[in-house]
Amino acid sequence: MLIVTSNEIPGHRIDAVFGEVMGLTVRSRDIGSQMLAGFRSLGGGELPEMTKALYESRQEVMARMVNEAQQRGANAIVAMRFDTSEMGTNWTEVCAYGTAVYVLPLGEGEPGATGQSVYLTKTAAQQTAQPAAAAQPRQPTPPAPPTQF
């Protein structure tokens, strides 16, 4: 699944728009990591426990958003964004959202084509040609002439 923060994907044409998709989670901080982070905050610097929790939350909401887009038939998400907010004293909401679309890479010679899109179209053409070649029946190999001694 191709996910971009821009409204368009260079070298691709948006062929269909399936609408907004999102992934959402609300997490509470466990008391142990919260206390440890509180002690660490006294000295300043990064709070690895909180960083890990936020990273895991983002991965989870991305997976949920991608799943929703795939269920709608999309192969890309444009205008993707993250949003976070505090809920209460210990809860954090993390949301990923964007627009589910179906994109087609532009081939060589098409206006707006990029090196990547040309590569994708050529690779796709080769992959469709290979199964067709494999499906053709093989010609029987004639038996070797007998050897005389």
Decide if pLDDT at 119 tops 70. yes
Q: With contact defined as beta carbons under 8 Å apart, do 9 and 77 qualify? A: no
Least confident range from 19-28, 92-101, 133-142: namely 133-142
Say which residue, 64 or 132, is predicted with more confidence. 64
Q: Any idea what DSSP says for residue 147?
A: P
Q: Are 102 and 75 in contact (CB under 8 A)?
A: yes
How many Cα atoms within 13 Å fall on the side-chain side of residue 77?
25
What is the pLDDT, as a whole number, of residue 72?
Answer: 97
Tell me the pLDDT tens digit for each residue of 5-27.
Answer: 999 999 999 999 999 999 999 88
pTM assigned to the model = 0.75
CATH class of 2-120: alpha beta
Residue 92 banded pLDDT, cuts 50, 70, 90? confident
